[in-house]
Amino acid sequence: MARWMPALTCPYLNEMWAVLTLDRDGTATETGAAVMSDLSALEARALAAGAGADSLAVLAIFRKMATTQASAHWPPRIRGH
């Protein structure tokens, strides 16, 4: 385990784990967007509640990964004249 990683005693990290392991229905795009939205809301709540900097950093990393995953499944756009 990395030295800077906070213990999972943080309620926000426990909730993040629940968000990531939730079984969701829908397409990959819908699922990715839902995870991204849930993680963004969780990060905002943690920031407002004064969560530790390490916990906020972990939440930000996972939110960014979810954002990348959600945007990777957009179908290509046909660009024509």
Domain locations along the chain: 28-71
Question: What's the pLDDT band for 1 if we cut at 50, 70, 90?
Answer: very low
Q: What are phi and psi of 27, to 5 degrees?
A: -75, 170
What's the rounded mean pLDDT across residues 70-74?
Answer: 65
What's the rounded mean pLDDT across residues 44-66?
Answer: 92
| Cβ atoms 34, 24 nearer than 8 A | yes
Task: Dump the DSSP string for the chain.
Answer: --TTPPPTTSHHHHHHHHHHH----S-HHHHHHHHHHHHHHHHHHHHHHT--HHHHHHHHHHHHHHHHHHHHTSPPPP---
Structure tokens at 9: 């005693």
Question: What's the pLDDT band for 39 if we cut at 50, 70, 90?
Answer: very high
Q: How does the average pLDDT of the chain come out, rounded? A: 82
